[in-house]
Amino acid sequence: MGSLNVNLCGIELSNPIIPASGTFGFGYEFAELYDINKLGTFSFKGTTRDPRFGNPTPRIAECYSGMINAVGLQNPGVDKVISEELPKLKACFNKPVMANVSGFSIEDYAYTCEKLDKEEQVGWLEVNVSCPNVHGGGMSFGTQPEAAAEVTKAVKAVTTKPVIIKLSPNVTDIVSIAKACEEAGADGISLINTLLGMRINLRTRQPVIANKMGGFSGPAIFPVAVRMVYQVANAVNIPVIGMGGVSTAEDVIEMMLAGATAVEVGAANLVNPYACRDIIRDLPEVMEKYGINNLKDIIGGVK
């Protein structure tokens, strides 16, 4: 069997598959279904400085080849994540986990990242400057190179672990933002977060979710994600994590050829809770089909 190992910012992963934040909770729920230690790692639910109830309901709706969500970063806040969620996770996951962090100010990002950086279980900090579902935070930091760089510098100043900046596709020039983050000290880039979308119920003549607009994800956005991963991976010298509509082992290979070192799987987990397990199971056969002996060899294989 070919080698599935990859190295993400100095940490070796047994395979490149990472369930994306917001689609895998804090892991222990999925551990009731299968051994989540099969995963490379996973990015846990987006965490903020203070607890958040999230947006009004309804906040999730199905669409053609995808879904719209505006959950709004519902989470118990960083202190409870550390005191309650991480101990539960430790009982079922023995690998470093990726901590996903959101904020409403630069100070928020720095505060939350500094706290999580001290946790032994945390291997990477994935800093989300790309959430389209909250007002006054998230994506507002990820649409301008200068703002994204400011967040990066502030987080790097108070942390020791690899910092991966998660970027929004809802911009005109994602490369300039990725390069600004790299220059500010980012250890990696992850992309893409959801596209901003909207649907209207013809009977009620109202948007299908209470927030009116939300993040559009699922297989329909995969070509956009591949394009942006390719652009960014060819512009920076730090690892890129690719995501956006990934649902099969073939999609993983395509993302890696575009330049991704590792691949996050999001909406597919909400359709099939075994999606990541199945992708990992299928990867060796797909590698054999395309003559791939080592996944590291195909990263950025398309120039």
Q: How far apart, in whole angstroms, are the C-alpha atoms of residue 78 and residue 55?
A: 19
Give all strands (DSSP E) within 224-294, no chain letters.
Answer: 240-242, 262-265
Q: Give the active site residue among 9, 92, 113, 131.
A: 131
Long-range contacts at 201-207 (CB < 8 A, ≥ 24 apart): none
- Pairing type for strands 214-217 and 188-191 reads unpaired
Q: What is the DSSP string of 157-187?
A: TT--S-EEEEPPSSSS-HHHHHHHHHHTT-S
- Pairing type for strands 188-191 and 240-242 reads parallel
Q: How many CB atoms lie within 10 A of CB 61?
A: 16
Q: How far apart, in whole angstroms, are the C-alpha atoms of residue 69 and residue 67?
A: 7
The question of whether 131 is a catalytic residue gets the answer yes
Q: How far apart, in whole angstroms, are the C-alpha atoms of residue 240 and residue 225?
A: 12
67, two tokens: 């879904």
In this structure, are residues 133 and 69 in contact, taking their beta carbons and an 8 Å threshold?
Answer: yes
Catalytic residue numbers? Answer: 131
